[in-house]
Structure 1
Amino acid sequence: MIDARRGVLYPARMPEFHRIAPPSAAVDLVQWFWIPQWDIDPGRTSRQHVVSYPALNLVVEPRGIELVGASTVATYRDLIGRGWAVGAMLKPAAVAALTDEPSALRDASRAFDAPDLHRDVVRAMRDGGERGRGRAVAVFSEWLIARVGALSPAARDANRAAELLMTDAEVIRDEDAATRLSVSVRTMQRLTRRYVGLSPAAMIRRRRLQEAVQRVRDHPDTDLATLAADLGYADHAHLTNDFRTVLGFTPSSYRADSGTASTL
């Protein structure tokens, strides 16, 4: 089971935020729906830092829809005024129906044309509260199910591969994942590139970094050398380099900063 708390660098800075499980008919297509809603005081900005999952997201906002590719870097968004978004963190099986080349969206996004989906989600969110969010998830799911149709065996294999790469701490190399799934390394690499746009190694690196971030934040007394060994890093320096390369700071500085105030 993927930990839904992972990926947010500074949870205390988040506005109202909901992660909602998909209905049973859409469980092969969506990991979860995420819905932030914000009302920021005039003249203020809420900066949200995220270490995203190695997955594509389809995001509906009042202004339109974006298909957001898998990310290999830390990202942030500045929230101002009042607004909302309804995002679906897609499982690989849904991706082929939305783009032919997910690798072209790596660390990028593009507008997505689906006027019926946009209309129905906007209408649902006008209801407000839990009812509106529930209706938005329902109509979003119905649209995805109709768009994707029947899943191919390869799409189901891609789902299994992504689940393993994103959740199993004992998988630290491409070969580990391929062995678990009884496929060749080449097949594993082809699946993730076709349905996620990343290599298996990149997905493993992201999972390890997310786990490291969460453990440093939630357990401030964690010994960093021990943490590095637990997560399969070569040593403490390797962990620190991963933090610095992707996030721009060290584990120690993140630990000191992770309890700071909610807005920047």
Structure 2
Amino acid sequence: MFEPRVSADARVAPRHGPTTSLRGLVDPAAARRGFELVRVDPAPDLADLVERHWVVRWDLPPGESFTQVLVPHPVANVVAEAAGYVAHGIPPGLFERTLTGSGAVVGTKLRPGAFRVLLGHADAVRPGVQVPAAAFLGPTAERTGAAALALAVAGRDEEAACGVEPLLRARAERVRDARTARDLDRVARAFAALVAGELGPGAGVADLAAVVGTSARSLQRIFAAYVGVSPKWALQRHRVHLAADLLAADPDQDLAALASAVGYYDQAHLGTDFARATGSTPGAYARRCAASRDALVGAGATAHPG
């Protein structure tokens, strides 16, 4: 059931490349049996602040539930669901959501640091913060979120995404300035380097700062002010995302070789970071993904990590 797709309307301006990967779903083969995920590109004039819009839909048999676990990226999501329209900052740990019955959720995944700019307050970088969208998008936000959700339920994903953009655009026009643009460009450059694989195995914060063209201390200050995590955390989280994705694609691979491939000096350090981020050792995660893959193939679907 999980078949991620992207809008055919490729509206992102070329100068704004990816700053987060598509990774993060724990056990993606199992996710394919639980829900459908659709990703929609933002309008070009919002691409400095918005990574992508997304829609999740599910339709489960009576009495059946599905729990999806995410290893979060260091970004905020502005989410419209039945309970309301709310911005969610970086979760302090794993994000878990149990789905039952049928329904949909529509969200906007902001770029790293963008929530700090849009909210205009340091609360944006507080772990686990939740802010009503109306607090920074204005009094019509709840109505707009509800309308977007109705479109998502109807399968009109591009319309749902476009429906929230006028509020984001109006807010962006009020809060953008030269300083925040410069700082967000530096944050975006750092994350884009991670996603593009520009850093070699064992790279550290100084290497990441060199790619950005600043000092390690300056990069740490910018991350603290805008993102809410350190550059070291971002490096570790990217490596865990990559390791989890590779294990989902090939659960039988050698873990020592995997550790080296994603930038660790040894398997032990990968195991420590992986368990801290996912709640599971790499070996246990591989076995879980193998079991889900086998179950998916047995059900007649083609297993892939999405």
- TM-score of the pair, normalised by structure 2: 0.77
Deviates more, 1:48-57 or 1:4-13: 4-13
- 1:143 aligns to 2:189 (yes or no): no
- Deviation track 1:145-175 (CA, whole Å, cap 9, x = no partner) reads 2112235322333322332344435163110
Q: Secondary structure of 1:148's partner?
A: helix
- 1:122 aligns to 2:120 (yes or no): no
CA contact (8 A) 1:106 1:198 kept: no
CA contact (8 A) 2:90 2:125 kept: no
Alignment match, 1:212: 243
Alignment match, 2:300: none
Alignment match, 1:161: 190
Q: Deviation of residue 104 (structure 1)?
A: 4.7
CA contact (8 A) 2:20 2:191 kept: no
Q: Secondary structure of 1:208's partner?
A: helix
Aligned residue pairs: how many? 262
Alignment match, 2:59: 39
Alignment match, 2:26: 9
Kindly provide the amino acid, as one letter, of the partner of residue 130 in structure 2. S
Q: Deviation of residue 3 (structure 1)?
A: 7.0
CA contact (8 A) 1:125 1:133 kept: no
Which whole-Å CA distance do the structure 2 matches of 1:146 and 1:195 have between them? 21
Which whole-Å CA distance do the structure 1 matches of 2:153 and 2:82 have between them? 16
Q: Deviation of residue 2 (structure 1)?
A: 5.6
- Superposed, which structure 2 residues align to 1:74-223 within 5 Å? 74-92=94-112, 94-95=114-115, 96-102=117-123, 104-113=125-134, 114=137, 115-127=139-151, 132-149=156-173, 150-152=176-178, 153-168=182-197, 170=199, 172-223=203-254
CA contact (8 A) 1:7 1:210 kept: yes
- Deviation track 1:38-59 (CA, whole Å, cap 9, x = no partner) reads 2233322210011111211111
Q: Secondary structure of 1:48's partner?
A: strand
Q: Deviation of residue 20 (structure 1)?
A: 1.3
Q: Secondary structure of 2:119's partner?
A: coil
Which whole-Å CA distance do the structure 1 matches of 2:150 and 2:253 have between them? 44
- TM-score of the pair, normalised by structure 1: 0.88
Q: Deviation of residue 61 (structure 1)?
A: 1.4
Query: Residue 22 and residue 52 in structure 1: after superposition, are their counterparts in 2 closer, same or farther (change >3 A)?
Result: same
Deviates more, 1:121-130 or 1:137-146: 121-130
Unaligned runs of 5+ in 1: none
CA contact (8 A) 2:55 2:152 kept: no
Percent of pairs with identical residues: 29
- 1:233 aligns to 2:264 (yes or no): yes
CA contact (8 A) 1:38 1:83 kept: yes
Unaligned runs of 5+ in 2: 1-17, 297-306
Which whole-Å CA distance do the structure 2 matches of 1:27 and 1:135 have between them? 17
- Deviation track 1:127-157 (CA, whole Å, cap 9, x = no partner) reads 4578621112112222212112235322333
- Deviation track 1:98-144 (CA, whole Å, cap 9, x = no partner) reads 25125653244343324423312322443457862111211222221
Cα RMSD after superposing both structures:
2.4
Which whole-Å CA distance do the structure 1 matches of 2:89 and 2:167 have between them? 20
- 1:53 aligns to 2:73 (yes or no): yes
Kindly provide the amino acid, as one letter, of the partner of residue 28 in structure 1. D
CA contact (8 A) 1:103 1:198 kept: no
Which whole-Å CA distance do the structure 1 matches of 2:224 and 2:194 have between them? 13
Kindly provide the amino acid, as one letter, of the partner of residue 54 in structure 2. W
